[in-house]
Amino acid sequence: MEEIVGLCKRRGFIFPSSEIYGGYNGFYDYGPLGVELRNNIKQAWWRDMVQRRDDIEGLDSTIIMHPDIWKASGHVDGFSDPMVDCRESKLRYRADQLFFAPVIVAGETIGYVSVVECPQQQEIAEKAAADIKRKAAKQGTLEPIVLKDYTESKPEEYDLVPSPATGKPGSLTAPREFKLMFETKVGPLADDSAVAYLRPETAQGIFANYKNIVDTGRVKIPFGIAQIGKAFRNEITPRNFIFRSREFEQMEIEYFIAPSADWKALHREWIDTCIDWLVSIGLPRASITEDIHPEDKLAFYSQATTDLMFQFPHGEQELWGVACRGDYDLRQHQEHSGKSMTIFDEASKEKYVPHVIEPSLGVDRTLLAVLTAAYTIDEVPNDKGKVEERTLLKFSPKIAPVKAAIFPLLKNKPELVERAQALYQKLQRRWNVFYDASGAIGRRYRRQDEIGTPFGITIDFDTIEKDGTVTLRDRDTCEQRRVTEDELIQFLEEQIDG
């Protein structure tokens, strides 16, 4: 992760927000390359999920909506995380990410260990338990360390579990509910009637507009409404770079189906569609797994949820949630707004409140997944034939921030420069391309490899003196071949837009 964060900063993908003031925890800014990558991911999703499908409509709703929407959806009362404070260090943890266990030697509890969730948590806890046993000079067998999260702690344990910050017991509070929605005030009044929320998901904007789209569009069941937009959550522990931040962006679909439809089959279809899309933007199929939520952990209205998990640098974590939410949301809005949410199904001649399947994906998490999959270190020969290590980002051409770089072989030969500039300007009309004339050609290739530019195009003397062909270099294999300008354009079209 550190290497990816470093590369992102060095090459202008992602910066900590408000960095000149020391940064602002949980907020990130996207620099010149980051914004291109981000836009390309969103455009690919929009094209594949909305424009290339006849059954999905797009929407762009406001970030601040009527506060009653959040009462109806259950967010005002229920959108919170259990948190625990360390009174001494003033650090705050999510209770379900703080793990603890009693240290039991020969049947007697001689202390407790605690650890913040991480891939090595078991190992760390076992080592800490062995230290406690050694310090206590207690003879006998150390029983296996069985970690539980802090939401499962009992009141009599609060004073016994050590704070991960200080290593000492007695400073942790009981788990308390912490509201995740950011509040603001709308209008000139400063009292409670002015309280509004920054949306914590884009989904409710879809439900709130469902009726408008049914009434004004030509949709028929099954159909979906898709939205891309910012969401805000006052996360207790924003961490792992852009994986969990306080301001992020979501790409969500609410796919409305008949109550009598085979929702299990449609759920499966959506899971497969989502996996295929992730693979299409360059994530290896082997790095995506499915986490099926057990029935006893589902929200009361939910029929099923499967999370698509990705192997991030900090472990296997949720990337895309695909949930079957029944008719809960529309019924809640029907009840709270007094407006009917029924639809007339032409095919079955029935009137009903549809059920919904919700694929919900974070833009920033997708971007981190894409960076993780693309980040590669290999060895290639330099200009002098000496093998050197190189860092490259193997982005799919579909989402790469810069699609191709155009190089005149030498910058002091006007005829090469002129020809390269002409090609650059031609390609620039269609794609984000880059022109670079400075430095040795090998160095120029490396600079582009590091930002993931898939193709290098070099104009040399053969181009101007012989047949007009250019050298086309592949980022991943470093292989070069000569192509005509027409072949080049056709190839780029296939690779980038295909």
Closest distance to ligand GAP from the beta carbon of 288 (Å): 13
Closest distance to ligand GAP from the beta carbon of 152 (Å): 22
Applying CB under 6 A, among 164, 321, 359, 456 the residue interacting with ligand GAP is 321
Q: One symbol per residue from 462 to 491: x for binding ligand GAP (CB under 6 A), - otherwise; what is it? A: ------------------------------
Q: Which of 56-64, 258-266, 294-302, 356-364 is the region at the interface with ligand GAP (rule: CB under 6 A)?
A: 356-364
**In the block, residue with structure tokens 């780029």:** 492
Q: Which of 143-151, 359-367, 381-389, 464-472 is the region at the interface with ligand GAP (rule: CB under 6 A)?
A: 359-367
Give the chain as a 3 state SS string: CHHHHHHHHHCCCEEECCHHHCCCCCCEEECHHHHHHHHHHHHHHHHHHHHCCCCEEEECCCCECCHHHHHHCCHHHHCEEEEEEECCCCCEEEHHHEEEEEEEECCEEEEEEEEECCCCHHHHHHHHHHHHHHHHCCCCCECCCCCEEHHHCCHHHCCCCECCCCCCECCECCCEEEECCCEEECCCCCCHHHEEEECCCCHHHHHHHHHHHHHHCCCCCCEEEEEEEEEECCCCCCECCCCECCEEEEEEEEEEECCCCCHHHHHHHHHHHHHHHHHHCCCCHHHEEEEECCHHHCCCCCCEEEEEEEEECCEEEEEEEEEEEECHHHHHHHHHHCCCCCEEECCCCEEECCEEEEEEEEHHHHHHHHHHHHEEEEEEECCCCCEEEEEEECCCCCCCCCCEEEEECCCCCHHHHHHHHHHHHHHHCCCCEEECCCCCHHHHHHHHHHHCCCEEEEECHHHHHHHCCEEEEECCCCCEEEECHHHHHHHHHHHHHC
> Between 252 and 449, whose beta carbon lies closer to ligand GAP?
252
**In the block, residue with structure tokens 């027409």:** 486
Residue 365 interacting with ligand GAP (CB under 6 A): yes
> Between 42 and 444, whose beta carbon lies closer to ligand GAP?
42
Closest distance to ligand GAP from the beta carbon of 222 (Å): 19
Residue 233 interacting with ligand GAP (CB under 6 A): yes
Applying CB under 6 A, among 36, 57, 85, 235 the residue interacting with ligand GAP is 235
Closest distance to ligand GAP from the beta carbon of 360 (Å): 4
Q: One symbol per residue from 257 to 296: x for binding ligand GAP (CB under 6 A), - otherwise; what is it? A: ----------------------------------------
Closest distance to ligand GAP from the beta carbon of 14 (Å): 13
Buried b (16+ CB within 10 A) or exposed e, 174-190: ebeebbbbeeeeeeeee
User: 101 has which bridge partners?
Assistant: 113
Closest distance to ligand GAP from the beta carbon of 451 (Å): 23
Are 463 and 472 a contacting pair, CB within 8 Å?
A: no
> Between 233 and 419, whose beta carbon lies closer to ligand GAP?
233
Closest distance to ligand GAP from the beta carbon of 58 (Å): 17
> Between 75 and 473, whose beta carbon lies closer to ligand GAP?
75
Applying CB under 6 A, among 222, 362, 397, 452 the residue interacting with ligand GAP is 362
241 C-beta neighbours (distance < 10 Å), count: 22
Are 245 and 77 a contacting pair, CB within 8 Å?
A: no
Applying CB under 6 A, among 244, 333, 355, 398 the residue interacting with ligand GAP is 244
Q: Which of 29-37, 69-77, 244-252, 406-414 is the region at the interface with ligand GAP (rule: CB under 6 A)?
A: 244-252
> Between 40 and 250, whose beta carbon lies closer to ligand GAP?
250
Closest distance to ligand GAP from the beta carbon of 367 (Å): 10
Q: One symbol per residue from 199 to 228: x for binding ligand GAP (CB under 6 A), - otherwise; what is it? A: --x-x-------------------------
Distance CA 413, CA 74 (A): 68
Q: Which of 14-22, 110-118, 243-251, 460-468 is the region at the interface with ligand GAP (rule: CB under 6 A)?
A: 243-251
User: 256 has which bridge partners?
Assistant: 223, 356
Applying CB under 6 A, among 360, 453, 458, 471 the residue interacting with ligand GAP is 360
> Between 364 and 436, whose beta carbon lies closer to ligand GAP?
364
- For 40, the token pair is 């390309």
Applying CB under 6 A, among 85, 364, 436, 449 the residue interacting with ligand GAP is 364
Q: Which of 62-70, 293-301, 353-361, 404-412 is the region at the interface with ligand GAP (rule: CB under 6 A)?
A: 353-361
Applying CB under 6 A, among 171, 237, 245, 317 the residue interacting with ligand GAP is 245
Residue 149 interacting with ligand GAP (CB under 6 A): no
Applying CB under 6 A, among 316, 318, 345, 485 the residue interacting with ligand GAP is 318
The residues that touch ligand GAP, with contacts defined as CB under 6 A, are: 201, 203, 233, 235, 244-245, 248, 250, 252, 318-321, 358, 360-362, 364-365
